[in-house]
Structure 1
Amino acid sequence: MSHPTNPSFDIAHLAHVEVYTDRFEESLDFFTRVYGLTLSGRDETSAYLRAWDDYEFHTLKLTRHHTTGIGHVAYRAASPEALARRVKVIEASGYKAHGWTDGDLGHGRAFQFEDPFGHVFEIYWDTVKYQPDDHDRPALKNNASRFHGTGAAPRRIDHINLLAGDVTEFRRFMETCLGSRVTEMIRLDNGRIGGCWFTVNNKTYDLACTEEHGGGHGRLHHVTYATDTREDILRAADIFLENGVHIETGPHKHAIQNTFFLYVWEPAGNRVELANAGARLILAPDWEPIVWTEADRKKGQAWGLKTIETFHTHGTPPSSKKQP
């Protein structure tokens, strides 16, 4: 197992997330016209979407499905050799390995595996970098594409939050299979870990896992894209309001990770966030996780906003328990 203060760095970054929807056309309209992602391509079942400064072909794969939730989480390896090393680690880990797939419109072959809670992950190296056409070509060649200003228009994918029945076991999975580090965590009074925030690079986090309270399995809490400024999020709140989007909570500031946030539900019910974490980076090689207690969390968010009940219970797909 990789030690959290000596990560392998075989994994470069969060690459994309596949989200299921049972209201495909409505969800696609939300993510393009309102949320402000652009369509890179489509196949028989999925739309491939990206933010204007995402360098890859897609960072969100929106897939027509019989329910909501998450299809898979994808990370890009740091090199072909790093991919091979990670595959060997995963195969020897005891966690469920699905094996190799041929990839899709956005990348080449990928190795898929599964955590103990039903979430499917994949890692790959060969990728399709987005190539802007004349209409989409940026004025500055170091941007991935032109800023289009449609809807909320976030800049890039930021992170994902998954739900798990045992966050300690999920932490073991992330440290073993992806070489992730924990940057912040919640420790409950009973000793359980209530949440962990992970990074595979120097971002403060690219994936969070929080304790499942809704009785579900393999569920998604939310997917997040990053904005340049807090003001972008304030403007987005008005855009969501004008378009009849359910605003769940925010705009406000999290205590954990300092993230300025806004959470909404897209038409099928998947939770989506816009976030701005400023310039926080984890550069220390011996970073010690920040530990938050139950007493800390009862104070609410950074400026005192209390966490609403649906934030603890709503996830996708809906569980057998009554959903809010």
Structure 2
Amino acid sequence: MLEPELLATNQAIIARMDSPVALIPQLAAHLVAAGGKRLRPLLTLAAAKLCGYEGARQIKLAACVEFIHTATLLHDDVVDESVLRRGFASANAVFGNKASVLVGDFLFARAFELMVEDGSLEVLRILCSASATIAEGEVLQLTTQNDLSTTEQKYFDVIRGKTAALFAAACEVGGVIAQRPAAQTAALAQFGMDLGMAFQLVDDALDYAADEAELGKTVGDDFREGKLTYPVLLAIAGADARELEFWTRTIGEGEQSETDLATALAFMQRHNATQRSIARADAFVESACAALAAFPESPMRTALEDVARYTTARRF
């Protein structure tokens, strides 16, 4: 349904990753080879089609969205000291932290070039605001690391910033370029926001429940990094004294042994933490699908609803 647009977007991404500085296209090619779902640019393309847009502006904007996302991944992998990304060695593991940070900066710059080329101040406002919000979300997550007093509200603030904001912006700009009424562009933003919340909840659950080969990254990374994600918050909320002592040592103080991840998984299973996280994600998915009621029924609306519902069924 969106194959020609996605192909054009991929061509735009590859063209804009080019540079006379050889390391930039080399590192970029590594990222492209690692694949990825291209979910965020697909949302821009799908939103534009849902709104009946017939021009070509969505191609550059979808590429722009992917550049923002990829830049944040490059920076995140450095911050998290990750060695795997989508089942491949992460860029920082192959090229080093300095190159990863600087190429991330290059991709942000390319994203802003594409926004300016589009020429819409409203599109520029939406995507610039999302870029700032992503950075705020990542910094907020840094402040919650190893902090057992982190509240559920603060966790949701983190994922709304670091993940859901770009989903919302990716959808909203599709409505803006189609010049849809404010109520419909707001509905698209709401769909993206709820979908992004569900997506991150599932990601955080999979860190404790997935098969490592399927997930494409090391299972238990969030645990080792002391991240207060939703499954951990649920396990801590129901913890007895012995469990609380365990979480204080492993997450709060960062003192972990080789057997601690298995213990954490057992405690989570006891409190049904991963399943409850998925159930919370399901509620966001239903809210996302309800937002699409602002649009008449169509194959594209059904496709977006299917994408949302797949979010909580995925294993990677």
> Do they fold alike, i.e. is TM over 0.5?
no
**What is the TM-score when the length of structure 2 is the normalising length?**
0.29
For the pair shown, the structure with the greater C-alpha radius of gyration is 2
**What is the TM-score when the length of structure 1 is the normalising length?**
0.28
Structure with the higher helix share, 1 or 2 = 2
Structure with the higher strand share, 1 or 2 = 1
